[in-house]
Amino acid sequence: MSLYMDNDELNELDEFQKVGVFPPSLRASLVTELNRAGIVYRLEDLNEHVTALYVLNFSSNEAGVILYELKNKNKRIRM
């Protein structure tokens, strides 16, 4: 079950907060982890190199940790 929200649903809620940005290569891993954690989210492609993550305010800390860990894991793999 995906907890993704589209633009129309997001516009109805003022409770979303931007958690961070990440490269599109992390998208699949991030979505998997957010769904596993039960976090309601929205992704916005800012350009071809950057995607923004928005989550409900009460989930922002947990989502931030997930994003941080995935970014660090990705850095170690590339080195």
pTM above 0.85, yes or no: no
Q: Which two tokens stand for residue 36?
A: 């596993």
What whole-number distance in Å separates Cα of residue 17 and Cα of residue 14?
8
**Stretch 16-32: mean pLDDT:** 93
The whole-angstrom distance between residue 25's C-alpha and the CA centroid of its chain comes to 12
Domains of the chain as residue ranges with CATH: 7-78 (3.30.70)
Question: Contact at 8 Å (CB) between 8 and 55?
Answer: no
Query: What's the Cα-to-Cα distance from 21 to each of 40, 58, 67, rounded to whole Å?
Result: 16, 18, 9
**Stretch 27-53: mean pLDDT:** 94
**Stretch 4-20: mean pLDDT:** 72
The DSSP symbol for 58 reads G
- Supply the mean pLDDT for the chain: 85
